[in-house]
Amino acid sequence: MSQTLIESVSAIIVDLPTIRPHRLAMHTLQQQTLVVIRLRCADGIEGLGEATTIGGLAYGNESPESIKQNIDSHLAPLLIGQDAANINAAMQRLDKAAKGNTFAKSGLESALLDAQGKRLGLPVSELLGGRVRDSLEVAWTLASGDTAKDIAEAEDMLGIRRHRIFKLKIGAGEVSQDLKHVIAIKRALGDSASVRVDVNQAWDESQALRACQVLGDNGIDLIEQPIARINRAGQVRLNQRSPAPIMADESIESVEDAFSLAADGAASVFALKIAKNGGPRAVLRTAAIAESAGIALYGGTMLEGSIGTLASAHTFLTLNKLTWGTELFGPLLLTEEIVQEAPQYRDFQLHVPRTPGLGLSLDEERLAFFARK
Ligand code: MUC
Ligand code: MG
């Protein structure tokens, strides 16, 4: 056991350029900020993890800076000297001592899983019980803010066979303008693509009731988080009335949230994210709740880079059913890589490595260059 003690944990903030501005209801990304976690063990093995959010504090309760601070000051000291090979005990220790902080905990658990996989010579998907698929369908988000540009971007993606599912980010503008934008894109793409929307909580129930009807009538396949996470009664009513399925995203900030959403009948699809739930194993618990309640699953992203994307991917490979596919395109939104083996996308799928751990190693030079000074 002394061989597998955790010797150090570091959290590095990394700022990377994006291929274009990415416009969401609550924030426009001009670049993306990752928090990369390096967990070193006495046997010389290093585990990699990532804790990434969107737009500082615009999306969730943790920012890149608070994630780093809380890891440095509170979470890393709890792990140093503990056995890296016992992931249950390490995560229990964090959960007992620290409330919330699911993004930071997810990055740390990913690093523990990566280290243990490397130690045992197994991919993380095998540590989590084994994969039932080798690749994952990946949606692309159209969020340039311009209808014609979005249509051109979607047609390019269809042409190169990279994506055939498109998620449109709406909610920043007038509802009527947003609906025109969505309908124009669906008409242009027709049956060659699945078109879905993510409102990121921007509507109130009165707006959402009508808008969901229009979206469903115009062939939109899925409506993600139309109203505020705190309006549970409104979510239940919308879920009963909308002709297109409603997916819960921001409403799920914990496994317990997933349980109460399922009990209330507030959504028919869950967006799973390792960061929102507190790590890959918490996602598996959320998935079990959904499956028992007859709720369908979707593999979500916090627009992580390659490390967080593959930690999510290994987890999603193990799920019994993944009806709505995934949106694990984060690395493709970035112009730069900080790992040596960029994730492989082809034929509409992300192909997940079978090498030990997450299947990644850092490009030390690129990491040093993009690390925030
Ligand atoms: C979200 O709210 O789902 C996922 C894809 C994307 O473009 O933004 C994220 C966040
Ligand atoms: Mg969302």
Q: Kindly report the protein residue whose alpha carbon is nearest to atom 2 of ligand 1.
A: 200
Q: Which class is 2-121+363-370 in CATH?
A: alpha beta
The verdict on whether 327 is a catalytic residue reads: yes
Closest-lying ligand 1 atom to the alpha carbon of residue 22: 7
At residue 199 the predicted structure's pLDDT band, cuts being 50, 70 and 90, is very high
Q: Are 166 and 189 in contact (CB under 8 A)?
A: yes
**144, 274, 301, best to mutate for ligand 1 pocket (most atoms within 8 Å of CB):** 301
Phi, psi of 347 (to 5 degrees): 50, 45
Nearest CA-CA partner of 297 in 262, 332, 331, 263: 262
Amino acid (one-letter) located at 38: R
For tokens 């879905």, name the residue: 196
Distance CA 6, CA 355 (A): 23
CA atoms within 13 A on the CB side of 58: 14
Tell me what pLDDT residue 290 has.
Answer: 98
Counting residues of the chain whose pLDDT is more than 90, the rounded percentage is 98
Residues 64-94 pLDDT 10s:
999 999 999 999 999 999 999 999 999 999 9
Tell me what pLDDT residue 1 has.
Answer: 65
CA 226 to ligand 2 center in whole angstroms = 9
- For ligand 1, whether the C-beta of 301 sits within 6 Å is yes
Residues 6 or more apart from 30 whose CB is under 8 A from it?
A: 18, 21
Task: Name the pTM for this structure.
Answer: 0.98
CA 295 to ligand 2 center in whole angstroms = 17
Tell me what pLDDT residue 173 has.
Answer: 92
Phi, psi of 304 (to 5 degrees): -75, 160
Q: Which one from 167, 169, 186, 276 is the annotated catalytic residue?
A: 169
- For ligand 1, whether the C-beta of 304 sits within 6 Å is no
CA 331 to ligand 1 center in whole angstroms = 13
Calculate ∠ Cα 186-25-50, nearest 5°: 100
The verdict on whether 169 is a catalytic residue reads: yes
CA 42 to ligand 2 center in whole angstroms = 39
- For residues 15, 17, 22 and 25, what is the CA-based torsion angle, rounded to 10 degrees? 20
Q: Which overall architecture, per CATH, does domain 127-351 show?
A: Alpha-Beta Barrel (3.20)
Distance CA 187, CA 201 (A): 25
Q: What share of the chain is helix, strand, coil (3-state, %, to 5)?
A: 40, 25, 35
Structure tokens at 254: 């914990």
Q: Taking 70 as the threshold, does the pLDDT of residue 12 lie above it? A: yes
Beta strands in 70-207 (DSSP E): 135-137, 140-142, 165-169, 194-198
Instruction: Calculate mean pLDDT across residues 46-59.
Output: 98
Q: Are 299 and 322 in contact (CB under 8 A)?
A: yes
Q: Taking 90 as the threshold, does the pLDDT of residue 294 lie above it? A: yes
Amino acid (one-letter) located at 243: P
Tell me the CA distances in angstroms from 156 to 160, 162, 163, 350, one per residue in order: 6, 9, 9, 18
- Give the SS3 label for residue 113: helix
At residue 35 the predicted structure's pLDDT band, cuts being 50, 70 and 90, is very high
Instruction: Calculate mean pLDDT across residues 280-289.
Output: 98
- For ligand 1, whether the C-beta of 303 sits within 6 Å is yes
At residue 325 the predicted structure's pLDDT band, cuts being 50, 70 and 90, is very high
Distance CA 155, CA 79 (A): 48
Residue spans in the chain of domains classed CATH 3.20.20.120: 127-351
Residue spans in the chain of domains classed CATH 3.30.390.10: 2-121+363-370
- For ligand 1, whether the C-beta of 200 sits within 6 Å is yes
Residues 95-145 pLDDT 10s:
999 999 999 999 999 999 999 999 999 999 999 999 999 999 999 999 998
Amino acid (one-letter) located at 1: M
Amino acid (one-letter) located at 16: L
Q: Taking 90 as the threshold, does the pLDDT of residue 2 lie above it? A: no
Tell me what pLDDT residue 145 has.
Answer: 85
Residues 136-188 pLDDT 10s:
999 999 999 899 999 999 999 999 999 999 999 999 999 999 999 999 999 99
Strand order in the sheet with 6-23: 6-23, 28-41, 46-50
For tokens 């909610």, name the residue: 171
Nearest CA-CA partner of 41 in 89, 88, 79: 79
